[in-house]
Amino acid sequence: MKKEKYLRFDMTSLPYYGFLMQVVLPLLLLLIAATRKKGASANEAA
């Protein structure tokens, strides 16, 4: 019963997850790229 409830919740929140992926994923990629650039410049300095 508990598993069924969780499944139903997951189905209703699916569009929300889609929106989250469209917004958060690019931001996350930008953040990773920025930290990589910082790491590269730090390595060059060292």
pLDDT truncated to tens, each residue of the chain (46 aa)? Answer: 566 666 666 667 777 778 888 888 899 999 999 999 888 776 666 6
DSSP one-letter string for 17-34? HHHHHHHHHHHHHHHHHH
pTM score, whole prediction = 0.47
Q: In sequence order, what DSSP letters do the residues of 2-22 get, joined into one string?
A: HHHHHHHHHHHTHHHHHHHHH
Q: Which amino acid, 25? A: L
